[in-house]
Amino acid sequence: MREWVRDKDWWRGAVIYQVYPRSFQDSNGDGVGDLLGIVQRLPYVASLGVDAVWISPFFTSPMKDFGYDVSDYRDVDPMFGTLSDFDTLIEAAHALGLMVMIDLVLSHSSDAHPWFQQSRVSRDNDKADWYVWADPKPDGTAPNNWLSVFGGPAWAWNPERMQYYLHNFLTAQPDLNFHCPEVQDELLSIARFWLDRGVDGFRLDTINFYIADAQLRDNPALPPEERNDTIAPAVNPYNWQRHIYSKNQPENLEFLKKFRAVCDEYNAAAVGEVGDAQRGLEIMAEYTSGGDKVQMCYPFDLLQPHRPTSEDLAATFRRLEAFDDDFWPCWAYSNHDVVRHISRWDLTPPAARVYTTMLLTLRGSACIYQGEELGLHEADLAYEDLQDPYGIEFWPEFKGRDGCRTPMVWETDNLYGGFSTHRPWLPVPSEHLHHSVQDAEHDPGNILHHYRRALAFRRSHLALRKGTQSRVEAVGDVVQFTRQGPSETIFCAFNLGKDPAETDLPEGRWVQIGTELNSAHADGEGHVRLGPWQCCLALKTKG
C-alpha cells in the first residue's frame, strides 16, 4: 500500500515529533491552528531530522477536553479543516519522508457522540451496553469508590436510565465498554478507516484505561508514602488510591493483540500512553513484549515532576531488568499534558543540551513535543486566560495544561509569533517571542541546532536506533551505558550535575565521536574528565 516504506520496523528507534494542532499554525486567521497550517510547517519538521509526526486529535468534538472528547471518529472537526485537508497533509508528509501517526482516543468518547446519546436513553436499545453503566448502591451512592483523574468521583448519574456511567476523566467523557464485542469491532474498524487514508500509525491515548474490572470492585487505598504526582497533581485525591480495578486489567491484552493484527496488515505501528504512577514501566514492558501487542509505549518515568538524576535513571532501568528485553519503550520529556521540561526541571541551556543528547541515545524510540527544540519554557498564564478544565478545577495549586499548549512561535517581530493573524485561542507569551524559529535559525548557539545535530548523530549510528543496551550505571552524577549494534558499540556517559565529574571507558580501543555534541575526550589511559553537564561518546568497531 505504501511502497515508499521499505522497513517494516521503521518505528524501532524512530523519533516522533508531536504536533498539538490547535497551537501549531493557523492557516485561515481564526486564531486556532489547523491541518493546512501543519502542511505549511511540515518542511520545518522534516528539517529537524525526525522520522514521524504525531498529530493530537483533530476529530469532530465539542472540545470540552480540546479534541480528547470525540463525537465522530471518522471526520475532521471544521475548526481544523476537512478530510480532504487531511489527505493533503498525508501526501505532503510522505513527500518529505515523514510518517504520520494520529492520536486515537479509544477509552472514552464525548457524551455528544451519537453512541452515547442512544445508550443513555434506555437499558435495552442497540447501544445500551456500549458504555460502562451500573446501578447505584442501595443508598443511592455511586457503585464504587473509583475516582476521576480530573477530580471527584468517576461516576455520573443519568436520570433517564436511573444508573451511573463511568468517566475516568471529565463527566463529558463517558468510558466505552470494552467488555462489549461490538465496541471492540467498531474501534478496530475506525483504525482501518484511517489506515486506508494512509496513516502510518497511531498514538493510543490512555492505553491502560480501556478495560475496567467487570465486577466493579473498590480500589484499595494507597499508603501515603507511595503517593506521587506523576499522573495527577498532589492536590488531587486520585493519588490516594491504588488503581488496580479501574484500569490495567488483563483483558486489555487481548484487545491490543487484535489492534496489532490490524496494524500489521498495513505495516503500521502504535505507541501507547501508559498512565500509571506505580506500575508504568511494568505495564509498558507487558504491552510491548512478544511481538503481538503494540510496538511501543511510553511510561511517565521521564515525564515526572522532578529532574531525573543519574541514580533515578539507573533505578528505572534496573526495574526493567526483570523483564525479557523484547519490550520497546518510547521516551519523552514533554508533551501536551505536562509542564515543559525546561521549566519543570529548571534546566539551564547546558543542562538542557546534555539531557537532549541522552534522550536520543537511550534504547527505544523517542517523542519530541513541539517547541521543546526551541527551549521554550512553560507559559505562566492568568486565570482569565485559562481554557483547560483541569486547571480551572484545581487553580491556583495546579494551573493545568495550558502553559505547555500556547502557540508555536515562528517569528519574533510579530505580536502572535507568526502563528496567526488573529488573536490566538491561548495568548503568546512575550518572552516566547525571543525563542522563535526565526531567531533560532540565525543563532548558531541556539538549542535548535543541538537538536538537529543530536538527531543526525542518532541517525548515523544503527546501534543507537535499534541496538541493545547494557546495564545503566550511576557513578556519582554520571549516568553511563553502552549501546551495541551489529558492527559497532557506543559508550555513552552523561554528567547530570553542575560540578565536574570523572569516569573511565570500558576496556578496548575506543575512538571519540560526537564532538559536535560537546563530547569529552578520554586520556591515553581511558580516563574521562567531564565538565558540568557534559557527555562522553566513544565508538568501538568490530574487526
The catalytic residue among 51, 69, 200, 205 is: 205
Number of neighbouring beta carbons within 10 Å of residue 46: 18
Q: How far is CA 21 from the centre of its chain?
A: 15
Residue 146 DSSP class: -
Q: Which among 32, 56, 12, 65 is positioned nearest to 294, based on CA atoms? A: 12
Contact call for residues 536 and 519 (beta carbons, < 8 A): yes
Q: CB within 8 A of 261, min separation 6: which ones?
A: none
Q: CB within 8 A of 487, min separation 6: which ones?
A: 462, 541, 542, 543
Q: Is the dihedral of CA 165, 168, 172, 173 positive or negative?
A: negative
Q: Is 182 a catalytic residue?
A: no
468 forms beta bridges with 484
Pairing of strands 511-513, 501-504: unpaired
Q: Which among 509, 512, 510, 507 is positioned nearest to 535, based on CA atoms? A: 512
269 forms beta bridges with 201
- In single-letter form, the type of residue at position 133 comes to W
The CA distance from 354 to 77, in Å, is: 40
DSSP 468-521: EE---EEETTEEEEEEE-SSEEEEEEEE-SSS-EEEEPPSS--EEE-GGGTBPP
Q: Which among 457, 431, 439 is positioned nearest to 353, based on CA atoms? A: 457
- C-alpha grid cell for residue 475? 557513578
Number of neighbouring beta carbons within 10 Å of residue 512: 16
Q: Which among 88, 4, 83 is positioned nearest to 38, based on CA atoms? A: 88
DSSP 437-479: HHHHHT-TTSHHHHHHHHHHHHHT-HHHHH-EE---EEETTEE
- C-alpha grid cell for residue 390? 483541569
Specify the 3-state DSSP secondary structure of 77.
coil
Q: Is 411 a catalytic residue?
A: no
The CA distance from 321 to 458, in Å, is: 24
The catalytic residue among 265, 292, 325, 385 is: 265
- C-alpha grid cell for residue 238? 486520585
Q: What residues are labeled active site?
A: 205, 265
